[in-house]
Amino acid sequence: MSSSSFLQVPRERWVASNRLAFAIRDANPVSPGHTLVIPHRLVATWFEASQEEQHALFELVDEVRRELDTSHRPDGYNVGFNVGEAAGQTVFHLHVHVIPRYRGDMEDPRGGVRHVIPSKGNYLLPR
| Active site positions, annotated | 95
Q: Who contacts 124 (Cβ-Cβ below 8 Å, separation ≥6)? A: 110, 111
Query: Cβ distance 101 to 110 under 8 Å?
Result: no
Between CA 97 and CA 95 the distance in angstroms is 6
Cα–Cα separations (whole angstroms), residue 35 to 15, 61, 125:
9, 9, 31
Secondary structure of residue 28 in the 3-state scheme: coil
